[in-house]
Structures are given as structure tokens and as C-alpha cells.
Amino acid sequence: MTAGKGSSDLEKEVLNAGLCTSCGACVNICPYIKVVKDRVAVIEPCGIAEGQCYDFCPRTPTDVAALDRIIFGEERSDSSLGSYLSIEMAQARDSDIRSRAQYGGVVSALMTYALSTGEIGSAVLTKPFDTGLMPTSALVEESSQVLECAGSNYVPSATLAELNKATKQPRGAIGVVGIPCQILALRKMQASQHQTGAKEVKLAIGLFCTWALSYKGFSEFLRRKVDPSSVKRIDIPPPPANTLVVHTKEGTIEFPLDEIRGSIKPACNVCFDMTSELADISVGMVEGMEDWNTLMVRTAVGEQLIAKAKADGIVETRPLDEARLAHLREAALTKKRRAISELVKRTGNETDLLYLRLSDADRRNFL
Ligand SMILES: Cc1cc2nc3c(=O)[nH]c(=O)nc-3n(C[C@H](O)[C@H](O)[C@H](O)COP(=O)(O)OP(=O)(O)OC[C@H]3O[C@@H](n4cnc5c(N)ncnc54)[C@H](O)[C@@H]3O)c2cc1C
Ligand code: SF4
Ligand code: SF4
């Protein structure tokens, strides 16, 4: 897939249009695009008409059905959650992992397992609170380092910039953990005709994501209440809590979610994917059960890893009840409808969804 456009088009269509998700896919592939915190900029025109940056970006034209065919061999039958083989609840068996993880520790347990069994030789992860409120991406080569990245930071990091940097030399099989926009960019990189280290990624674990917060807006908000550099953990408990919980070195504070909605990144309002639909395995929370994760297995790669991890006592699973599954489906559908409505509001044309290429039937389904 090559769109025949370059960095000046990326700047005009994505960066200046408020569509950038800060995924990092365009960073570290040339000297002309840089990231500072969660702000990405083209610092100089490069003059190349057909850039990798444009092709990799999750907010340049994206044909969802074509990616489905490449990854799953067919188009999706589930319009709200994408293709999957199974959905269950899961948790890490190791209580130390669970106590340091955001919820059930499935992501940390699986990445630790994949590294220690040699399924992958390295992993690109995100350290949530490495330097205060701004997360940083990390290349992890030892399974013992995975837990240093446990937890969630709701500010996005340019995680794929680390993948681009790490794969400047051949590395063998790599694992990546990312939010949906990062997994989409990763899949666009893998599907592209460009030579890219993303083709060495053999395991993609996607997180659920409803929205993320801009570093500037969120740190300014927090600074009025606490010292942002003392933040150790952030949680957005499932509905009906409607709060943001911030754990700092000094104590724990709760804020109504409405107080931070103004800091949601504009790009998140047009995001179509809540459950990392193109990952091998997708992981999110379980409503009302903070020690458990929702686990979606989507590909044969994911299925094999989970089967081995269960057999070796790394994770355990239980059925996810119908009511929670229905809520998950509804939340994913709501996000799609909100994104389509926002895109149509921006273009003023129901058939022009800026970056999203959907069939007419799918588009009408979400309008
Ligand atoms: C921005 C964001 C929004 C989210 N929104 C939702 C939501 O709406 N609903 C829901 O069910 N779940 C959401 N999640 C996922 C949830 O917070 C947990 O990450 C997920 O349930 C896995 O739990 P765990 O206990 O297995 O994680 P852990 O074992 O603690 O592993 C967490 C992993 O998350 C990665 N990570 C941390 N921060 C970031 C970041 N900023 N960007 C990329 N990767 C990161 C780390 O690399 C780590 O490997 C969100 C996560 C993020 C980062
Ligand atoms: S590739 Fe990612 S970081 Fe670069 S412009 Fe697109 S969304 Fe932003
Ligand atoms: S809502 Fe979408 S664009 Fe925003 S951080 Fe989450 S996955 Fe990325």
C-alpha cells in the first residue's frame, strides 16, 4: 500500500488538522520529523513525494476491510468488536504481577512469558511514569524488565518511535504492546511496501482505549491540584464511578471525569477502534472486577500463546458473562458512532470520512 504522498501532506492532512494520535510511527524513520512529549512536528520539508511517514500513519487513508483481509484472511463478521476467536476474562496467576499491574496483569504476564520462552527476543513497551506524567517507550530485552512497564498512563507515548529506532538493526522476533491507534499504525507498517522493522513484529498485544489525554492539558490541570512529578499510578475505574483516581507519593485524589474531559486529545474524537481490533490479543478491564482483564484472542498467533500460557500456569481464564459482553459491544459501537458523527461534522459530507475507508453498508450502519 503506497499513497504517493509525503511529509508535507502528513503535516497538512494530519498534524495541522488535529488528527495526530502521537503514535510515533512517523518518528525515527527520517531526520525531519520529531516528537517532544506527545507533540509531533515536521521540522523541515524533506521533498520526498512518497514518504513512509504518510503510509504508516493511522490517520491517513485507511482501508479497514483490506487490513482485515491481510491479518485475518477475511473481512470481519462482528461490526462492533472486529474479528476474534474468543472473548473471556483472564488474570495473571502470579500475585506479584497482579499487584503491580493496572488490572489483572495479563499484559505483563504474557509479555514476560513470551520473552522468557523465546517466542520473542525483545519487546517495545511503555513505561507509564518514568519521568513524571509523561510516559516513555522502552525496548525490553529481559523478561525481568517487563514489570517496570506495568500500569497505565492515559497520556499517549510515541511508542512506535522506539520500534523504528530499535529495528534500525535486525532484531529477530519482536513483541509490541500498544493502544488501538498504535496497533493500527503497526499493521499499516507491516502491510506497506516499504522496508520496515515492523515486519519483525511477531506478537502485537493491543489495549482497549476510549480516549487519551494531552500532556499539556492534563499536566496543567494536575499542577493546580498536585505535583505532577509525584504521580505513581492513575486509574479510570469502570462506570458508574465516573472518576479519575490519581495516586501520588503524598496520597490519593479523585476527580470527576468531567473536569478532565477538556484535555482529551482532539484526535480521539475521530477514533473508530476501542478494542485494538487488529491486534493478535486485545486486553482491557472487566467492569466491577479490578483484578481481572477482558481478553480477546484474535489471531492464531494469539491463540497459540494463550494456550501455552494457560498450560504453563501463567494466566487463568473464566467465561465472560453475557451482560458484560453486551456492555463491551455497546461501548465499542458508541465509540464508532461518535467517531463517524464527528468526521461527518468536520467534512460536511456523509461519504467523506477523512481517513476512514468503509464500505457504504458499514458507514450507514454507524451513522
Ligand atoms: C491511554 C489508555 C486508555 C485506556 N482506556 C481503556 C478503556 O477505556 N477501557 C479499558 O477496558 N481499558 C483501557 N485501557 C487499558 C487498561 O488501562 C489496561 O492497560 C489493560 O486492561 C491491561 O491491563 P493489565 O493489568 O494487563 O496491564 P499491565 O500488566 O499493567 O500492562 C500494561 C501495559 O500497558 C502499556 N502502557 C501503559 N501506558 C501506556 C500508554 N500510554 N500507551 C501505550 N501503552 C501503555 C505498558 O507497556 C504495559 O505493558 C487504556 C489504556 C491506555 C494506555
Ligand atoms: S504517524 Fe502517528 S505520530 Fe505521526 S502524524 Fe500520524 S498519528 Fe501522528
Ligand atoms: S482514542 Fe484512539 S486515537 Fe485516542 S489514544 Fe485511544 S486509540 Fe489512540
Q: Can you give the pLDDT at residue 249?
A: 86
Mutate to test the pocket of ligand 2, among 38, 46, 54, 59 (most ligand atoms within 8 A of CB): 59
Closest residue by CA, ligand 1 atom 34: 152
Ligand nearest to the CA of 17: 2
- Rounded Cα gap, residues 143 and 312, in angstroms: 16
Domain with CATH 3.10.450 in the chain: 215-263
pLDDT category at 343 given cuts 50, 70, 90 is very high
User: Is the overall model pTM greater than 0.75, yes or no?
Assistant: yes
My answer on whether omega of the bond before 240 falls inside 30° of 0, hence cis, is yes
pLDDT category at 1 given cuts 50, 70, 90 is low
> How close is the Cα of 154 to the center of ligand 1, in Å?
8
Q: Please report, rounded to a whole number, the percentage of residues in the chain having pLDDT higher than 90.
A: 91
> How close is the Cα of 181 to the center of ligand 2, in Å?
9
> How close is the Cα of 273 to the center of ligand 3, in Å?
8
Quote the crossing angle between the two packed helices 300-311 and 106-116, to the nearest 10°: 90
Q: Does residue 180's CB lie within 6 angstroms of at least one atom of ligand 3?
A: yes
Q: What is the mean pLDDT of the chain?
A: 96
User: Closest Cα partner for 138 from 150, 154, 124, 128?
Assistant: 124
Q: Can you give the pLDDT at residue 37?
A: 95
User: For 234-238, what is the mean pLDDT?
Assistant: 90
Q: Can you give the pLDDT at residue 47?
A: 85
User: For 254-272, what is the mean pLDDT?
Assistant: 96
Which residues does ligand 1 sit against, CB inside 6 Å? 101-108, 125-126, 128, 135, 149-154, 156-157, 159, 177-179, 207-210, 212, 283-285, 293
Ligand nearest to the CA of 9: 2
DSSP line for 98-161: HHHSSSS-HHHHHHHHHHHTTS-SEEEEEEEEEETTEEEEEEE-SGGGGGGG-S--SS---HHH
User: For 280-292, what is the mean pLDDT?
Assistant: 96
Give the three cell numbers for residue 346. Answer: 468536520
- Rounded Cα gap, residues 15 and 11, in angstroms: 5
Residue-wise pLDDT tens digits, 209-231: 999 999 999 999 999 988 888 99
Q: Is the pLDDT confidence value at 68 over 90?
A: yes
CATH placement of domain 65-213+265-333: 3.40.640
Q: Can you give the pLDDT at residue 50?
A: 86
Q: Can you give the pLDDT at residue 2?
A: 67
Residue-wise pLDDT tens digits, 94-117: 999 999 999 999 999 999 999 999
Q: Can you give the pLDDT at residue 49?
A: 84
Q: Does residue 211's CB lie within 6 angstroms of at least one atom of ligand 3?
A: yes
Q: Looking at domain 215-263, which of 2.30.30, 3.10.450, 3.30.40, 3.30.310 is its CATH number?
A: 3.10.450
Domain with CATH 3.40.640 in the chain: 65-213+265-333
Cβ proximity of 110 and 176 under 8 Å = no
Least confident stretch, 41-45, 148-152, 279-283: 41-45
Q: Can you give the pLDDT at residue 337?
A: 97
Residue linked to cell 510516559 = 135
Q: Can you give the pLDDT at residue 96?
A: 97
Q: Can you give the pLDDT at residue 29?
A: 96
